[in-house]
Structure formats: C-alpha cells, structure tokens
C-alpha cells in the first residue's frame, strides 16, 4: 500500500478554488440542493481548508513519535470526514451537537486492561452518526457496542497479525474475465448452499450478487463494480490490491463500511493516547502482549488507507459509478 502522502497526491486537483467549486456544484446538484452554484462558491474554501488540515495532520503523524500518532491521525481523519459531509450538506454543521465525536468509551479498569477487548459505544448525535447516516445511509441505534477485536477482524489488511485467530477472517476474490472466483471452502465456512449464500450476501448489501457453483470454484458476479466503501462484507485489501469476503458472518460489524471501522478504532486510540497516559506509556515501553503490534499495524494501515477510501468515496462511489 502507498504511504498516506502518496494517497494525498490524488487530492491535488481539489487544492484549487475553481476546481473545488465545480466539484461541489456537481455534488449539490446530485443531492438536488437549491442554489447549488451559490452554495458551492460559499463552501469551496472551507472544503479546501478541511483537506489541507487533514493532509497536515497525517503528514505529521507519519514523522511523529508513536506516542502521539493516534491523536494526529484521528484529527486528520475528522477533517477528511468534515470535507465529505460538506459535499452532501452545504450547511454542515447546522448545530454544535454535530461536532461531538458520536461515540464514547467505557471506563477502564487500571489492572489487566486489554485493548482488543475494550469497547466503544455509539451515541445519538455527533460525527460518527452523521457519516453513518449521510455518507452511507445507515441508522445506528444509540448505545451499540463494538469491541476493538471485532472491528479489527473486519479490516482485511490486518489479517497477517497473529492476534487474530488461526481461522482466516477473509477469503480472497480472484478477478477473472467473468467476475470473481472464490474457493469452494466459502460454502463450508458459511455452512450454506450457493443459492443460500447468494441470498444472504444480497441481504447484507445494496449491491446485487450472483453466485454460480462448479466442481472447482465459486463464481461471484455483481450488478456493478465492487466498491471500496460499500455496506458489505466484501472489502478492499489495500496491501494485496484486491477485494476479499469476510468470513465473520456472526460479527456485529460484518457488513459495516470500512471507514466506520477505522473511525471507531481511531477514536478509541486517540482517547487512550490523550487520557490513559499511564497505560499507554507502559504499553510503548514494555510491549507486554499482542496489543502493541496490533496498534502499530493498525496505525500504519489506517494512515495510508483512510485517505484512499475517502478519495474513492468522494470521486466515484457517492455518485454510484
């Protein structure tokens, strides 16, 4: 996967008032917003400033000590998301409640705390709720809880780490001229027939999938190109440059868009780095368990992948291309 600065090179055309104004007008017309041209002129500089601030935070994160990387990465992430929301809602934020994080962490016990077992809980208002509803048309119930291990198991780039169970979390989709080939083991993993798996996948996403079975392989085709940010168990592995199918059908995050996974983990890490100073310092100094390599790997992946995922959403996926 490219370094995050390479992914920010994709944003270069946006660093122009005229280009950003044209882009925002296209977005507002797509959303059928009144006075699209006027509002695009009003928002082109705020849009650019969010992107510039995000790029600065991410650049500093890559050259900063690990102890403060979670804070810088999360602030950069938040700026990118605010730029996204501005492409949907020209009046964002309409109230101060939308500026909250939209998620909270539980109180931690100082003894025997394990990051992978830690949880976050969604709130009624805030940035997480806004991006879920406005970017992905998902309504999350207030008070939903997700553990860090559950969320990280749904990020395909994380699978190389040993903290994950010996059972593979993802099955590669091998591109072919007819669609995507999967191992027949997928039917055993899901304990489903090919027709039932087709029905199941279609119930978990807004895309339409078709599955054909042969003695050697399973062939999967879709009504449109696979998306990086779909509400789907099919996710993009940036390290390998291909899509993969999650094996974790019983996970509460099974079909959650990957950007939301990164947001929840990034938020929790930023809180730990800011407020759990004693545990955070001990982790960095003593590296007592799998928490340390897991966190280091996640930060590296997220710093590169989040700008890529958001760019894909901005330029293509939000318009249904």
Range of the domain at 266: 4-163+256-319
- Final residue in a domain of this structure, among 246, 268, 286: 246
Q: Backbone phi, then psi, for 183, in 5-degree steps?
A: -65, 145
Percentage with pLDDT > 70 across the chain: 93
Q: Are 54 and 83 in contact, with CB atoms under 8 Å apart?
A: yes
pTM of the entire structure? 0.93
**C-alpha–C-alpha distance, residues 176 and 238, integer Å:** 19
Instruction: Tell me: do 297 and 199 sit in the same domain.
Output: no
Q: Per-residue pLDDT for 139 more than 90?
A: no
Q: Per-residue pLDDT for 51 more than 90?
A: yes
Instruction: Tell me: do 13 and 81 sit in the same domain.
Output: yes
pLDDT tens-digit series, residues 83-97: 999 999 999 887 776
pLDDT tens-digit series, residues 211-238: 998 888 899 998 888 889 988 899 999 9
Residue 259's pLDDT is: 96
Q: Per-residue pLDDT for 165 more than 90?
A: no
Instruction: Tell me: do 176 and 159 sit in the same domain.
Output: no
Instruction: Tell me: do 88 and 198 sit in the same domain.
Output: no
pLDDT tens-digit series, residues 256-312: 999 999 999 999 999 999 998 888 988 888 877 888 999 999 999 999 999 999 999
pLDDT band at residue 160 using 50, 70 and 90 as cut-offs? confident
The answer to whether position 106 is within a domain reads yes
Instruction: Tell me: do 241 and 260 sit in the same domain.
Output: no
The answer to whether position 127 is within a domain reads yes
**C-alpha–C-alpha distance, residues 24 and 122, integer Å:** 30
Instruction: Tell me: do 126 and 202 sit in the same domain.
Output: no
- Final residue in a domain of this structure, among 208, 224, 246: 246
The answer to whether position 251 is within a domain reads no
Instruction: Tell me: do 149 and 287 sit in the same domain.
Output: yes
Q: Structural domain tally of the chain? A: 2
Residue 110's pLDDT is: 62
Instruction: Tell me: do 178 and 148 sit in the same domain.
Output: no
Instruction: Tell me: do 143 and 178 sit in the same domain.
Output: no
Instruction: Tell me: do 156 and 176 sit in the same domain.
Output: no
- Final residue in a domain of this structure, among 195, 221, 246: 246
Instruction: Tell me: do 280 and 308 sit in the same domain.
Output: yes
Instruction: Tell me: do 206 and 300 sit in the same domain.
Output: no
């Amino acid at each position: 996967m490219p370094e995050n600065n390479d992914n920010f090179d994709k944003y270069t055309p946006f660093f122009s008032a005229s280009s950003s104004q044209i882009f925002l007008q296209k977005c507002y017309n797509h959303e059928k917003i009144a006075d699209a041209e006027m509002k695009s002129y009003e928002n082109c500089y705020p849009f650019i400033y969010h992107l510039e601030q995000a790029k600065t935070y991410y650049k500093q994160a890559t050259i900063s000590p690990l102890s403060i990387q979670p804070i810088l990465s999360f602030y950069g992430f938040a700026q990118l998301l605010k730029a996204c929301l501005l492409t949907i809602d020209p009046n964002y934020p309409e109230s101060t409640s939308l500026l909250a994080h939209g998620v909270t962490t539980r109180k931690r016990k100082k003894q025997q705390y394990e990051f992978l077992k830690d949880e976050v809980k969604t709130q009624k208002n805030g940035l997480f709720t806004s991006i879920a509803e406005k970017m992905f048309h998902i309504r999350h119930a207030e008070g939903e809880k997700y553990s860090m291990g559950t969320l990280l198991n749904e990020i395909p780039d994380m699978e190389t780490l040993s903290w994950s169970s010996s059972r593979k979390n993802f099955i590669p989709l091998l591109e072919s001229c007819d669609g995507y080939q999967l191992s027949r083991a997928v039917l055993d993993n899901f304990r489903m027939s090919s027709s039932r798996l087709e029905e199941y996948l279609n119930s978990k996403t807004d895309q339409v999938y078709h599955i054909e079975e042969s003695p050697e392989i399973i062939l999967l085709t879709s009504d449109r190109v696979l998306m990086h940010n779909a509400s789907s168990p099919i996710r993009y592995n940036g390290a390998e440059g291909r899509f993969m199918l999650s094996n974790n059908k019983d996970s509460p995050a099974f079909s959650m868009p990957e950007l939301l996974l990164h947001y929840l983990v990034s938020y929790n890490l930023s809180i730990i780095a800011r407020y759990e100073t004693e545990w955070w310092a001990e982790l960095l100094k003593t590296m007592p368990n799998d928490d340390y390599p897991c966190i280091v790997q996640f930060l590296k992946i997220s710093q590169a992948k989040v700008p890529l995922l958001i760019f894909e959403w901005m330029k293509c996926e939000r318009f249904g291309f």
